[in-house]
Amino acid sequence: MKTITTNINWKLARHGIFQINRWIYQGAYPGKTAEQELQRLGVAAVINVSGSLDNSVINIECYSYPFPDLKLIPVPVVKEVITKIAELGICSKVFVPIATY
């Protein structure tokens, strides 16, 4: 499994959640989309989290990229991610590397 080691929040990493610098998500490379750059990094799924720091509102989108042999994110894992994000009061893009090679 490829893991992203850039800008890791270790509190989250213990739960299998890895943060990546925002410039990667926005697509820093000319001619490439953010999705292509995430694929290059070996990231198979993205959980997009937005909300307020006081946890009053948290919106979560979860989707995966079309990788060969992609393992889907189990619902209990997604629920755990949501719970941890709510507990920690985090408002950011959260990337979960789940593809195996």
DSSP 59: E
Per the CB < 8 A criterion, the answer to whether 3 and 97 are in contact is yes
Question: What is the reported pLDDT for 22?
Answer: 35
Tens-place pLDDT, residues 46-77: 555 544 444 444 444 444 444 333 344 445 55
CB atoms within 10 A of CB 18: 19
The residue behind tokens 């198979």 is: 44
Look at residue 78 and tell me whether its pLDDT is greater than 50.
yes
DSSP 25: H
Question: What is the reported pLDDT for 45?
Answer: 52
Detail the DSSP E strand segments found in 1-101.
Answer: 45-51, 58-64, 93-96
Q: Tell me what the pLDDT averaged over the chain comes to.
A: 46
Q: For residue 31, what pLDDT band results from cuts at 50, 70 and 90?
A: low
